[in-house]
Amino acid sequence: MRPTSSAFMILFAVSLIASAGNMGLQSVLPAIGRQFGLVDTLVAGAFALSALIWTLVSPFWARLSDRLGRKRVMMIGLGGFIVSMTGFGVAATAGLEGWLAPLVAFGLMATARGVYGLFGSAAPVASQAYVADRTTAQTRTQSMSLLASAQGLGTVIGPVLAPVFVLPIVGLAGPLYAFALIAAAVLVVVWRKLPSGGVVRIPTAKAPRASRGLWKDPRIRDYMLFGLLIVSAQAVNISVLGFHVIDEMAGSGVSIGQAQPFIAIAMFAGAVGTLMVQWGLIPLLKMQPRDLLRWGAGLALAGNVISVLGAGYYGAVVGYGVMSMGVGFARPGFTAGSSLSVEPHEQGAVAGLMMSLAGLGFLAPPVIGVALYEWLEPAPFVGNCLLLALALGLCWWSGPLRRGPPDLPDRDETPGPDLQPASQPGPEGGRRFAASS
């Protein structure tokens, strides 16, 4: 399957709408929670629930696609996304219009988000398996890279489009209905136009028994610790951002509803910063994993320092943008570094471990970060400074991180463009399908 084929364009659209919809929801959720008068921590818990369910059920969808077929499972995932976004929108409208008590409405919103965690994970898993079935070992990396770039593009498009759909009748729930309608159109295209059959399905492989304890292996253990620190700090920044912007704009007389475009601009700045690093600076400078780790942790730390010391809305935007650039450097660093530190037969197991960090990072840290923010505004950023200072210190204290992966003469250690942009929150944006050649 060529990246220019109509089938690949359909898969690209599937990944794009899921990423854009999730980031659009992330951008309006703080404002909805504030208008409901709910505790910010409770609002953050909705995404943590989705991340937990996603992490648990993704392997099930991968195996089911072996039996039912990639297209059918992909359609199940899109259907789950549509039901989730529509249900979330209806519940939000009911709460905002006073038809339901805020807590009841939010309970329905959390349930709708759980539906996405349960079913929405089927679409990206099946999409990547579809590509694996129809590409050779030589062309698979490029195809997977382009498919992953749809998720990175969605992190930019989602927050930008969300304010456009905040319309007089539907209000803050408008983006949810809009993304559900777009996904419904994509579902029809998948049903009518995406080819199925005609190829041998590559079965979903389970990790060998010898690789199941790989997380304790000294070759990659410190990469995993570094990655967990980075992803946790990123999760805190993402979950706090909307509330932070609303509070900063309130000082200028901007209401909660009017703050939505300002949240979108802040999220857009972070997404562009990440894409600029991963699609521009890293290939241009040909940076190695060791350098990526140091620059990544250092910039992410600097971004959180700016969030602590910077005043007003611009301080919040600049701090988030610099932090996102740091994550853009760091995430390819620990992903590539761990991959380059093990043998070829261990690559699938290491990839699974690296992807599990996204699920771990987006479970407790967002809730803890928002709880700290409710207690004292600078607290989550101060906490992140401690996490990132530890990550930066690890770059020199850890032997594997200080030395970098083994320098093999026939290997280019520069992370390639197949490494997915790091701005997409949670396991929704971080799961890859590992398949054998």
pLDDT over threshold 80, residue 19: yes
* Angstrom distance (rounded) from CA 225 to CA 90: 40
Among candidate residues 424, 417, 340, 421, the one with its CA nearest the CA of residue 145: 417
Judging by beta carbons within 10 Å of its beta carbon (0-12, 13-18, 19+), is residue 411 exposed, middle or buried?
A: exposed
Longest Cα pair distance anywhere in the chain, in angstroms?
A: 67
Mean per-residue pLDDT over the chain, rounded: 83
* Angstrom distance (rounded) from CA 272 to CA 212: 36
Cα–Cα separations (whole angstroms), residue 315 to 230, 256, 309, 321: 21, 19, 8, 10
List, for residues 229-272, the tens digit of each pLDDT value: 999 999 999 999 999 999 999 988 888 878 889 998 998 898 88
* Whether the Cβ atoms of residue 264 and residue 328 lie closer than 8 Å to each other: no
More confident residue, 10 or 134: 10
Torsion sign (Cα): 18, 20, 23, 29: negative
What is the CB neighbour count within 10 angstroms for residue 251? 10
Among candidate residues 25, 42, 37, 177, the one with its CA nearest the CA of residue 102: 37
pLDDT over threshold 50, residue 431: no
What is the CB neighbour count within 10 angstroms for residue 167? 13
* 3-class secondary structure per residue, 88-116: HHHHHHHHHCCCCCHHHHHHHHHHHHHHH
pLDDT over threshold 80, residue 158: yes
* Whether the Cβ atoms of residue 392 and residue 297 lie closer than 8 Å to each other: yes
**Helices and strands counted in the chain (H then E):** 16, 0
- Which token pair is 121? 């994970």
List, for residues 314-373, the tens digit of each pLDDT value: 999 999 999 999 998 998 888 778 877 877 666 656 665 665 676 677 788 999 999 999
* Angstrom distance (rounded) from CA 128 to CA 150: 12
The number of CA neighbours under 13 Å toward the Cβ of 6 is 8
List, for residues 25-76, the tens digit of each pLDDT value: 988 999 999 999 988 888 888 778 887 888 788 778 878 888 888 899 999 9
* Angstrom distance (rounded) from CA 437 to CA 246: 49
Reported as type and span, the H/E element at residue 359 is helix 347-361
Torsion sign (Cα): 262, 267, 270, 273: negative
Radius of gyration of the chain (CA): 21
pLDDT on residue 378: 95
**Average pLDDT of the segment spanning 379-389:** 97
